[in-house]
Structure 1
Amino acid sequence: MKKEDCFYLGKIVSKYSFKGELLAKLDTDEPDLYDNLDAIFIDLRGNLVPFFVESSQLHKSDLLRLKFEDVDTEADADALIKTELYLPLDLLPKLEGDKFYFHEVIGFTIKDTNFGEVGILQSINDTTAQSLFEIDRDGIEILIPMNDEFIVKVDRKNKTIEVNTPEGLIDLYLEE
């Protein structure tokens, strides 16, 4: 299994018991979707290694208590702390309407209600306080905040996202 065929589920943050149980912080708004997993891929030194789940249950709000097969001691569990968890993309719940996963809209055409076609979505920058659409318009990078108020429509069939940005925002990038 390659990383590009998977999505990041979360990270193991601590041991839970003396029997090899671990707590993982999940990167999701709906942790209960991942309560009954059979297996999880763990990134060990750049390789995704499958671990079979003996038992799992939600612990507090966004932590998942995990017991893996063949992880039976504190030492076994210690070796997995701070490792990242991945699942195959086909296990992602399907989103509908104007909700989307970042990876699924890369390459979509961005159209603005007033401006018209803006360009092609190259990536999404989520390292800033507000996530940004990074759009390529003939070699010029245009950044549009991923604000729910700006996103008018996500059209998966035609691979377009319609936005309605404040007047002049796109022009700022195009003025020489």
Structure 2
Amino acid sequence: MNLEEAFYIGYITKTKGLKGEVQLYFEYDEPGLLKLDVIFAEISNKMVPFFVSSYKLHTNSTGNFYFDDVDHIDKAQPLVKKKIYLPLTKMPDRSEDDFHYNDLKGFIVSDEFHGELGEIIEVNEYPQQFVATVLYQNKEILFPLNDDMIIEIDEEEETILVDLPEGLLELYINS
């Protein structure tokens, strides 16, 4: 399996105890919907499978995991800070009403003050927020996707109206 055939769900934050238990922090919205019998860690640009022997999910977007063949802290320690993925075939089905910021890729962005900015070419998820990338006047402009910035999303027209902070565009254009 390669990265294009997988979706990101989170990363290993730390080891717990001496018997190889690790804590996984989920950046996926609803970890309870995931089938977690085997997960993949990105190690040296390769997707390495780990078979889950047991796990317990917590309400704070974390879970404690034991993997087959990881039975000591020395085997678990190299997994800390590794990104964790699942195959695309295990992605839970979403209802048509279920909309995510990642769905905005390809939408045309307009700002209330500056007018049309261009197409969203990338949506990146960071621990605190989603960030959109737009090519504007041959420069990549990044801005957060949140309720404070977004005024309106038109899914049928694939457009988004935003109110960017004063001076943000100028920072990118004048640099």
Same fold (TM over 0.5): yes
- Give yes or no for contact 1:42–1:49 (8 Å, CA) kept in 2: yes
* Aligned counterpart, 2:46: 47
Aligned counterparts, 1:99-138, within 5 A:
99-102=99-102, 104-111=103-110, 117-124=116-123, 131-138=130-137
* Aligned counterpart, 2:159: 161
Task: For structure 2, list consecutive stretches of 5 or more residues without a partner in the other structure.
Answer: none
Aligned counterparts, 1:66-81, within 5 A:
66-81=65-80
Cα distance in 2 for partners of 1:70, 1:126 equals 31
Cα distance in 2 for partners of 1:99, 1:115 equals 26
Residue 81 of structure 1: how far off its partner (Å): 2.4
Q: Deviations over 1:92-140 (max 9, x none)?
A: 55375583243x4333322457866431112346669765433224525
Cα distance in 2 for partners of 1:37, 1:128 equals 21
* Aligned counterpart, 1:14: 14
Task: For structure 1, list consecutive stretches of 5 or more residues without a partner in the other structure.
Answer: none
Question: TM-score, normalization: structure 2?
Answer: 0.72
Helix, strand or coil for the counterpart of 1:75?
Answer: helix
Q: Alpha carbons of 1:111 and 1:3: their partners in 2 closer, same or farther (altered >3 Å)?
A: same
Question: TM-score, normalization: structure 1?
Answer: 0.71
**Pairwise CA RMSD:** 3.7
Number of residue pairs aligned between Structure 1 and Structure 2? 172
